[in-house]
Each structure stands twice: as structure tokens, then as C-alpha cells.
């Protein structure tokens, strides 16, 4: 394992804490709830837990609006409960990654309360305040990613402040050294407590154009922008986000992290195209350990686009850089809904056999689908401002533990309704079904853990396959594994004897072919079947 850190070989599991497990019966998940389910996570076989924000927050964006970076919101628990959680995670040999939200605070953070108090306040310059144009309009054409303008007029001090997200999320001014120093202290606070690393929220957004120029207005065509949010398509986002100067700050952040041994820095980096995204590893590997790779999230569930994306990713990685693939999150439609139910098993196999550190969003391991949220129950500010089709509530519904009311998540009505079909699609039911999606995840996680070729091996595309099929090799120190994934609705027969004459099934997506000896000149592959083959 030389040169490999724990996070190279780990599988990360994302918990959206409001929706994982309610420990105190108020309809919202919490830290006590997570503690009560650690045995489940250990048994599942994941290595590290990333928890979306748990800090004090008015919850305008459900924790991504932080009003104190060094405490726990009472809704989730307190610092003593947090310490218990961390200790219980470490005792099980797992790691804990916290979400860190550097781009903006809550407007109820004491820093912003001071900043907005007067133009002379010493913290005025901690946020981004600008005069109106002579006609009273905002300083430039930047838009909030949640819809509407990115500028909010403050009548008391007669200036606009910038918010790239909700108006209750004012952007910090990272060009101010005091802001930097204070934010770095918040990282140290949690590392001193023993936290193993951070997932850094929209960290590439933290530096804005020094001259605050207008973004060029032009309609962005499909190929350039991969998701469906119209805000991402109506302007070229070259002055508001992803500024080249941000890399200087990224290196400073990394130095703070590196002062503590074995900590990981992960970044939510949407930057496109991939060549610019890859810059976030740093020219000397001195920025992020793991910028998340989101390139698979919005592709159609088809072999060729996925293959092309992975090849492009592999080609663009600087020497020594390590990918981290994401197929689901609290911001995107569930993969069973987005790609279709037929994709659930092959997606699991893809995610857990590609080169890199996989991130499993809670609930994907039981094949959860998007919930249906009535219009009057929408909670997500993006959904409220930009329309129900952009609401992220459907992928944030309560975790489905069992068939009892509220899916065993809570004893009272949860903050979001439980998704339909939970009576069948839940942990308890899938634990006793040997062929369930949950047991597939367990098998894949266990197999990956015992197979260096999957944890550390090189990646090579197998080129000689039909268009409806994606096959690749993972190789490490003489150990070779062939992964074959079908995207077809019908059975097919493949000739893969250019790779090897014979092979043996290690894992099949239906958990029904293990140990089968294969003649690779005539490999039978079921509809939407995936195989890991020992060769």
C-alpha cells in the first residue's frame, strides 16, 4: 500500500443528517440517530462518513447557512454528543468527514450582523458590499444559483451585499486576510477534536472577480453545461465563480489541513471543462486531495457517454492525482429515478469498481427513489425560488429503515414525507433477501476491500465491446479484474477472448452467478447485468 493514504482506498458514505435517523422523536434526524445506526454502516462495509452540515443554522438552506462554525445545532445535538459520535466512529475503525461551508455564512452569523450594522463596522469588509449603480440597480448582472439576483439591497446602510445562493447566505470576502484567518481557525477547531477531514462546499466559488465585471450573457449549449439548472446556462460564469486566483487560497487551505496528519481535503468542484476542474489538484498536488468528479451525474444511462467521460477523466488527471466519483447526492435526483430502476445494480457496480474513491449517497444502497413532495410542502429554497422541478427535496426524503409508519426513521411525522414504496424498499426487508440491492452493495464493498486491483489498480478500457456495453480492466501487481456492464434491455453474447480465454465470476449484479466459470469467447450477459470477473 505504499504511497496510499486511507482515503485513497476508502469508500465514503454521505449522510444528510436531517433525513438519516431521528433519535429524539422530533421528525428531524440527528447525531444520536446516527450513533444508533453505526453498526448498520459498519456492517455495510463503508470506511468513512461525510455528514452534511450540523452547525448552528437558521436552516434557510438546511445547514448550508451556518451561524456558528464551531458548535452543533441543538436540532442535531451538542458538542458532547458529537464527541460521542466521533469516538464511536473511530472505535469501529471508520473516519468522519465534516462539511465545511466557506463561501458564505448565514445572515444570522454574528460576523454578518456586525457587518451589516454600519459601513464603519470593523467587520464591514468581511462580506461583499457594493454601491448601487447611479440608477439604483445592482452593481452587476450576477445571479443567485437559487434564482433571482445575487445582490440584496440593505436599506439601513444603503448598499447591496452579494449572495450567490439564498439571500440569507451572504458571501464572505475571502480577499480579507481576517476572514481567511478566522475560517482557517474553524478547520483547526474540528481537526483538534479529531475530525478526519472536510468536504468543502462550493470551495471554488470563494474568490470573485476583483473588478466585479458582468458575466457575459449568452445561452450556453448542452455540451458545455451538464445539468439542467437554467441559472447555469444563461450566462458564462467567468467572473462570479471559479476565478483563477482561487488557487492561491486553495494552497493556503491545504497547508492548514496538512499541519494535521492523515486529514483529507475534499472539494465540491463543478468547474468545467475537465481540464480546468483538474487544476484543483494543484500544480504540485498542493490543493485538494479529492475534488469530487460529478461528470457521471447528469449523463444518460448509456455505455458510450459513460465510457467517454471516464476516459476523459483518466486522461486529464495530473500525475499522482486520484479521482473521486459521485453518482448521487443531496443535490441531485436519486439515481433510480434519474437513470431508471434498471440502472440501480449496474450503477452500484460501476461506482464501486472504477478507479478512485467512491461516494455513496445514503439510501442508494437500498435503491431509494425520489419522493413526491406536494407543492405546499416544498422546503428547499432552490425549489421555492426556481420552481418545483429544481427542488432538491425529493432526494432528501427520510431514510427507509423498515416497513413501519414513517419507515422507522421517526416516531412522528418527518420534516419531509417518506417516499412511496418504502414498505418494500427498506433495510429490514433487504437484509433478509439474499439477492437484494443492499446485499449487492455489501458484497461489492467487501469484495472491493479484499481486492487490491479494485482499490488501487490501474484502469484500462476494453475497446472491443458492443455499444450497449462498457467493459474495463483493473490491474494491480499482477492481479486483474474484468468488469463488464450491460446497458441493454436484452440479453447479449460478447467475445472478450482478446482479454483472456477464461474467467470466473466474482460478483454478479443479480448475486446469482458467483463462481461461474466463463468461456470469454462466448460471454452471456443478461439485460442490465454487471459482472466482476477474475481472469
Residues that bind ligand GLC (CB under 6 A): 61, 64, 101, 165, 201-202, 268, 330-331
| CB neighbour burial string for 416-453, b if at least 16 within 10 angstroms, e if fewer | bbbbeebeebbbebbbeeeebbbbbbbbbbebbeebbb
> Minimum distance between the CB of residue 61 and ligand GLC, rounded to whole angstroms?
5
Of the pair 326, 520, the CB lying nearest ligand GLC is at 326
Helix, coil or strand: residue 382:
helix
Q: Which of 127, 75, 67, 71 lies closest to 98 in space, CA to CA? A: 71
Of the pair 203, 520, the CB lying nearest ligand GLC is at 203
> Minimum distance between the CB of residue 395 and ligand GLC, rounded to whole angstroms?
10
Question: What is the DSSP secondary-structure string of 507-534?
Answer: EETTS--TT-EEEGGGEEE-TT-EEEEE
Catalytic, out of 107, 166, 201, 240: 201
Beta bridge partners of 470: 485
Question: What is the DSSP secondary-structure string of 157-213?
Answer: TTEEEE-SS-TTSPBB-TTSHHHHHHHHHHHHHHHHHT--EEEETTGGGSS--TT-P
Cα 528-530-535 angle, rounded to 5 deg = 150
Helix, coil or strand: residue 418:
coil
Residue nearest to ligand GLC (CB): 64
Whether 268 is catalytic is yes
Count CB neighbours of 297 within 10 A: 21
Q: What is the layout of strands, in order, in the sheet containing 458-462?
A: 458-462, 469-476, 479-486, 530-534, 502-508, 517-519
Q: Which of 309, 285, 289 lies closest to 299 in space, CA to CA? A: 309
Of the pair 50, 399, the CB lying nearest ligand GLC is at 50
> Minimum distance between the CB of residue 101 and ligand GLC, rounded to whole angstroms?
6
Of the pair 64, 198, the CB lying nearest ligand GLC is at 64
Question: What is the DSSP secondary-structure string of 449-480?
Answer: HT-HHHHH-EEEEE-SS-TTEEEEEEEETTEE
C-alpha distances (whole Å) from 161 to each of 167, 202, 204 are: 9, 19, 20
Whether 201 is catalytic is yes
Catalytic, out of 47, 65, 268, 534: 268
Catalytic residues: 201, 268
Amino acid at each position: 500500500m505504499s504511497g496510499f493514504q486511507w482515503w485513497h482506498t476508502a469508500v465514503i458514505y454521505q449522510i444528510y443528517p436531517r433525513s438519516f435517523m431521528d433519535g429524539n422523536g422530533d421528525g428531524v434526524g440527528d447525531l444520536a440517530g446516527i450513533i444508533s445506526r453505526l453498526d448498520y454502516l459498519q456492517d455495510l462495509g463503508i470506511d468513512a462518513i461525510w455528514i452534511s452540515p450540523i452547525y448552528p443554522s437558521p436552516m434557510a438552506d438546511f445547514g448550508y447557512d451556518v451561524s456558528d462554525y464551531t458548535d452543533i445545532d441543538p436540532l442535531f445535538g451538542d458538542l458532547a454528543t458529537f464527541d460521542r459520535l466521533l469516538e464511536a466512529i473511530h472505535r469501529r475503525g471508520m473516519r468522519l468527514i465534516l462539511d465545511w461551508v466557506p463561501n458564505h455564512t448565514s445572515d444570522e452569523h454574528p460576523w454578518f450582523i456586525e457587518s451589516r450594522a454600519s459601513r464603519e463596522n470593523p467587520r464591514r469588509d468581511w462580506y461583499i458590499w457594493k454601491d448601487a449603480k447611479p440608477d439604483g440597480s445592482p452593481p452587476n448582472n450576477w445571479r443567485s444559483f437559487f434564482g433571482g439576483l445575487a445582490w440584496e439591497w440593505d436599506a439601513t446602510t444603503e448598499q447591496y451585499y452579494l449572495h450567490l445562493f439564498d439571500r440569507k447566505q451572504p458571501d464572505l470576502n475571502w480577499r480579507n486576510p481576517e476572514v481567511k484567518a478566522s475560517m482557517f481557525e474553524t478547520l483547526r477547531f474540528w481537526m483538534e477534536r479529531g475530525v478526519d477531514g472536510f468536504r468543502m462546499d462550493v470551495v471554488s466559488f470563494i474568490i470573485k472577480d476583483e473588478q466585479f465585471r458582468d458575466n457575459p450573457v449568452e445561452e450556453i449549449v448542452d455540451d458545455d453545461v451538464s445539468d439542467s439548472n437554467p441559472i447555469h446556462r444563461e450566462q458564462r460564469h467567468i467572473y462570479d465563480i471559479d476565478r483563477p486566483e482561487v488557487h492561491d487560497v486553495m494552497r493556503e487551505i491545504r497547508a492548514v489541513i496538512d499541519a494535521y496528519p492523515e486529514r483529507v481535503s475534499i472539494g465540491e468542484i463543478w468547474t468545467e471543462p475537465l481540464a480546468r476542474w483538474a487544476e484543483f489538484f494543484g500544480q504540485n498536488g498542493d490543493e485538494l486531495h479529492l475534488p469530487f468528479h460529478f461528470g457521471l451525474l447528469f449523463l444518460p444511462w448509456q455505455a458510450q457517454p459513460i465510457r467517454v467521460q471516464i476516459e476523459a477523466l483518466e486522461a486529464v488527471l495530473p500525475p499522482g492525482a486520484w479521482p473521486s466519483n459521485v453518482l448521487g447526492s443531496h443535490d441531485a435526483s436519486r439515481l433510480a429515478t434519474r437513470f431508471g430502476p434498471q440502472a440501480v445494480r449496474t450503477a452500484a457496480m460501476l461506482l464501486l469498481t472504477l478507479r478512485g474513491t467512491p461516494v455513496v449517497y445514503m439510501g442508494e444502497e437500498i435503491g431509494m427513489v425520489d419522493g413526491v413532495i406536494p407543492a405546499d410542502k416544498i422546503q428547499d429554497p432552490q425549489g421555492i425560488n426556481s420552481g418545483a422541478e429544481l427542488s432538491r427535496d425529493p432526494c432528501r426524503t427520510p431514510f427507509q429503515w423498515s416497513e413501519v409508519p414513517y419507515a422507522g426513521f421517526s416516531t412522528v411525522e418527518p420534516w419531509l414525507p417518506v417516499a412511496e414504496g418504502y414498505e418494500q424498499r427498506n433495510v429490514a426487508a433487504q437484509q433478509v433477501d439474499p439477492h437484494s440491492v443492499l446485499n449487492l452493495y455489501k458484497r461489492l464493498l467487501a469484495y472491493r476491500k479484499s481486492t487490491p486491483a479494485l482499490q488501487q489498480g490501474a484502469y484500462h478500457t476494453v475497446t472491443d465491446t458492443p455499444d450497449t456495453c462498457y467493459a474495463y480492466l483493473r490491474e494491480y501487481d499482477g492481479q486483474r479484474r474484468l468488469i463488464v456492464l450491460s446497458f441493454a434491455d436484452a440479453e447479449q453474447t460478447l467475445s472478450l477472448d482478446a482479454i483472456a480465454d477464461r474467467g470466473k465470476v466474482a460478483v454478479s449484479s443479480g448475486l446469482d452467478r458467483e463462481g461461474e466459470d466463463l468461456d470469454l469467447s462466448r460471454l452471456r450477459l443478461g439485460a442490465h447485468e454487471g459482472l466482476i470477473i477474475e481472469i
